[in-house]
Structure 1
Amino acid sequence: MKTFNVPIIYRSPLITAIKNRRKQQDRMKKDFSPTLLDFGTLKIMLARHFGFCYGVENAIDIAFRTVDENPGKRIFLLSEMIHNPHVNDDLLEKGVQFIMDTSGNQLVPWEALQPDDIVIIPAFGTTLEIEARLSALGISPLQYNTTCPFVEKVWNRAEQIGQKAYTVVVHGKPGHEETRATFSHSRHTTPTVVVKDMAEAQLLGEFISGKRPAAEFAELFKGQYSPGFNVETDLQRVGVVNQTTMLATETQAIADYIRGVILEKYQHEANAGERFADTRDTLCYATNDNQSAVTGMLQVPADLAIVVGGYNSSNTSHLVELCEEKMPTFFISSDEKLLSANEIRHWDFHHKQELHSFSFLPDQDVVTIMLTSGASCPDALVEGVIRKLLSFYGLEHKADELAESWK
């Protein structure tokens, strides 16, 4: 696999050594059990897979190289390159400006851009409409393109099935940059509708089966369907693709559900199976691996889980969601949120607020903590969390000893 030039500040010798050892022991990636870091009174169960994925490293490589190779030029990002505040802040410090926020609100007017400006497309990709706007300003929209190859794979698959007269159902968060981009690309080929979860998929199923009147569709899926969408004709042949950072199991469940509704409605047709397109190959490998690693990690007893990543990171929030089903879970952006052995600031992504909690570490002889991070989180932040936790037990020196032992 291609290697990338990622700034050393994001690397961690300790985490790299652990990942390399596990990779050597399990080259086929069949073992999703966690790595035990045994410090005596503190035991950390480190997930088998976590941290930067291919798409994130690709984006970081291109963005930082673009800055280094273009001194004196104005450089813009359409929005946050990835959903990690530390990486985005580093780019801002280098003079990069964001044209929009993550919701698509304008921060820099389009009219302020000039033909010789550099505009970087973030890892989530962008819409065809924004590409056209940049072109109209005299800026080549794809010259500095960090779109994740696995996101582009989803676009290509949506286009392929669209050309075969399938309507595309996108499982994703309607306001997320990646879903907005996927929706834009898909709707230019075929009728497209976005469902954010199983509840909306089941709602869509009622329109497919005819149990709900077509007249209600426009209001229930407002802003989530392509212009001219015809409920009566556009839901007869469908295929499901996804925002790559969604829960893979949920995407598969949604696809299975919609396929079942289709087959039930057209069960008397000899070619009923052809009314649903097989799109399982659009699931991102890193999303799958990281989520499977959390599932494997949760098979081992522990007292609590800590998940590290950007608070607006979709893939990270799904790791938190999985952990919350089994044990107390704390979603933090870095070790700075570990205020003391008694205090922690952590993100409640359900209600979009930061909480200040006390006594998060149990008062007992041995404490076991599950630890993982999102696909846009630098390994250096995970090492920082490990070192901070060790400091609460007077075991700071153990981190360097562990790094040596894993070489």
Structure 2
Amino acid sequence: MKTFNVPVIYRSPLISTIKNQRKQQDRMKKDFTPTALDFGPLKILLARHFGFCYGVENAIEIAFKTVDENPDKRIFLLSEMIHNPHVNNDLLERGVRFIMDTAGNQLVPWETLQSDDIVIIPAFGTTIETENKLASLGIEPLKYNTTCPFVERVWNKAEQIGKKDYTVIVHGKPKHEETRATFSHSQSNTPTIVVKDMAETEKLARYITGEAAPDTFYEAFKGQYSQGFDVTKDLQRVGVVNQTTMLASETQAIADYIRQVIVAHYGLTEANAGERFADTRDTLCYATNDNQSAVIGMLEEPADLAIVVGGYNSSNTSHLVELCEEKLPTYFISAPEQMRSARQVDHWDFHHKQEIHSDTFLPEKSQVTILLTSGASCPDALVEGVIRRLLSFYGLEHKADELTLVD
């Protein structure tokens, strides 16, 4: 796989050593057991896969290279480069400005942009409408494009099935930048609707079978369907794609459920199900799959708690938290400093979208075992910082430089 020129401030010699050793031991990436870092009173089980993915490294390389090569130009990002505050703040400090926030609210008026300004498309991609807006201002919309290739793969799949007269169902968070972009590209080819979870999928299924009154659809899914969507016609042939960072098991469950509903409603068989349900296979990115599988493998080990590091608005990171919460007390943090002491930690409650404080962080016992992972937009340097911070609570920070790997 291609390697990228990512600023050294995001790298970690410690984490690189661990990852390289695991890569040598497991070239086919079949082993999802964690790496054990045994420091005596503290044992850290580090997920097999975590941290920057291909798309994130690609975006960071393009963005920082663009800044370095254009010192005399105004440089803008459509919105956050990735969902990590450290990377975004570094770009802001270098003079980059965001045109929109993550919800799509305008921060820089379009009319203030000039044709010689540089506008970078973030890793999530953008809508066709935004591309057209940039073009109307004389700005080449895709000249500085960091859209993740795995996101573009979803767009291509949606286009392929759309041209075969299937309606596209997008499993994603309706307000997320990536889902908004996927929705825009998909609806340019075929009727499209977004479902955020299984509950909405089950609601949609009632319109497929005719159990729900058609005229109630438009309010039930307000803001989530393409213009001109005809609920009486556009749910007869469908296919499911997804925001690449969703929970893999949920996307699969949604696709399976819709397929079963279609097969039962139209009296189809396994042999002819494709007449009304498109085979989209999996449109999650490799990193989402690997990171989630690594967490599942990590959770098979006995532990006292889990720590997940990443941006609070990161979808892929929140799903890692979701998996961990099913088994263990889990602390979602964005920086090592949030672990104030062995007893106190500030962490994010992504269910209620608020930071909370806990006074019962590390248990008092002879050896504390912690599961540790991070999201795909989280620098490895932060993970090393978390390890060192944890060790400092035991007076063992020097041990990070004498790391012993335990099979």
| Category of TM-score, reference length = shorter chain | over 0.9
Q: Is the 8 A contact 1:83 1:310 kept in 2?
A: yes
Q: Which residue in the other structure is 2:14 paired with?
A: 14
Whole-angstrom CA distance in 2 between matches of 1:272 and 1:335: 50
Residue 274 of structure 1 aligns with an amino acid whose one-letter code is: E
Q: Which residue in the other structure is 2:344 paired with?
A: 343
Q: Is the 8 A contact 1:340 1:392 kept in 2?
A: yes
* Structure 2 residue 87 is matched with structure 1 residue 84: no
Question: 2:232 aligns to what SS in structure 1?
Answer: helix
Whole-angstrom CA distance in 2 between matches of 1:42 and 1:188: 54
- Matches of residues 327-406 of structure 1 in structure 2 within 5 Å? 327-402=328-403
Distance 1:11 1:323, change over 3 A: same
Residue 377 of structure 1 aligns with an amino acid whose one-letter code is: C
Gaps of 5+ in 1: none
Whole-angstrom CA distance in 2 between matches of 1:79 and 1:268: 45
Residue 191 of structure 1 aligns with an amino acid whose one-letter code is: P
Q: Which residue in the other structure is 1:295 paired with?
A: 296
Whole-angstrom CA distance in 1 between matches of 2:360 and 2:191: 52
Whole-angstrom CA distance in 2 between matches of 1:123 and 1:264: 39
Q: Which residue in the other structure is 1:46 paired with?
A: 46
Question: 1:2 aligns to what SS in structure 2?
Answer: coil
Q: Which residue in the other structure is 1:146 paired with?
A: 146
Q: Is the 8 A contact 1:263 1:273 kept in 2?
A: no
Q: CA deviation at 1:402?
A: 1.1
Residue 54 of structure 1 aligns with an amino acid whose one-letter code is: Y
Question: 2:60 aligns to what SS in structure 1?
Answer: helix
- Matches of residues 225-240 of structure 1 in structure 2 within 5 Å? 225-240=225-240
* Structure 2 residue 114 is matched with structure 1 residue 114: yes
Q: CA deviation at 1:143?
A: 0.1
Q: Is the 8 A contact 1:125 1:151 kept in 2?
A: yes
Distance 1:36 1:78, change over 3 A: same
Q: CA deviation at 1:232?
A: 1.1
Whole-angstrom CA distance in 2 between matches of 1:354 and 1:280: 37
Q: CA deviation at 1:280?
A: 1.5
Q: Which residue in the other structure is 1:184 paired with?
A: 184
Q: Is the 8 A contact 1:266 1:272 kept in 2?
A: no
Q: Is the 8 A contact 2:51 2:379 kept in 1?
A: yes
Whole-angstrom CA distance in 2 between matches of 1:337 and 1:142: 38
Q: Deviations over 1:20-76 (max 9, x none)?
A: 110111111110000000000000000000000000000000000000000110000
- Matches of residues 39-78 of structure 1 in structure 2 within 5 Å? 39-78=39-78
Question: 1:114 aligns to what SS in structure 2?
Answer: coil
Residue 183 of structure 1 aligns with an amino acid whose one-letter code is: F
Q: Deviations over 1:272-327 (max 9, x none)?
A: 43210111241211100000000000000000000000000000000000000001
Q: CA deviation at 1:123?
A: 0.2
| TM-score, scaled to structure 2 | 0.98
Question: 2:389 aligns to what SS in structure 1?
Answer: helix
Q: CA deviation at 1:268?
A: 5.3
Question: 2:202 aligns to what SS in structure 1?
Answer: helix
Q: Is the 8 A contact 2:125 2:151 kept in 1?
A: yes
Question: 2:337 aligns to what SS in structure 1?
Answer: helix
Question: 1:234 aligns to what SS in structure 2?
Answer: coil
Question: 1:375 aligns to what SS in structure 2?
Answer: coil
Q: Is the 8 A contact 1:295 1:322 kept in 2?
A: yes
Q: Deviations over 1:89-133 (max 9, x none)?
A: 000000000000000000000000000000000000000000000
Q: Is the 8 A contact 2:162 2:190 kept in 1?
A: yes
Q: Which residue in the other structure is 1:124 paired with?
A: 124
Q: CA deviation at 1:271?
A: 3.6
Q: Which residue in the other structure is 2:256 paired with?
A: 256
Whole-angstrom CA distance in 2 between matches of 1:285 and 1:214: 38
Whole-angstrom CA distance in 1 between matches of 2:274 and 2:54: 35
Whole-angstrom CA distance in 2 between matches of 1:341 and 1:31: 32
Q: Which residue in the other structure is 1:322 paired with?
A: 323
Gaps of 5+ in 2: none
Q: CA deviation at 1:336?
A: 1.0
Whole-angstrom CA distance in 1 between matches of 2:358 and 2:282: 41
Whole-angstrom CA distance in 2 between matches of 1:311 and 1:157: 29
Give me the CA root mean square deviation. Answer: 1.1
Whole-angstrom CA distance in 2 between matches of 1:215 and 1:33: 50
Whole-angstrom CA distance in 2 between matches of 1:50 and 1:207: 39
Residue 144 of structure 2 aligns with an amino acid whose one-letter code is: Y
Q: Which residue in the other structure is 2:283 paired with?
A: 282
Question: 1:397 aligns to what SS in structure 2?
Answer: helix
Q: Percent identity at matched positions?
A: 78
| TM-score, scaled to structure 1 | 0.98
**Higher mean C-alpha deviation, range 156-165 or range 271-280:** 271-280
Whole-angstrom CA distance in 2 between matches of 1:272 and 1:314: 32
Q: Deviations over 1:76-99 (max 9, x none)?
A: 000000000000000000000000
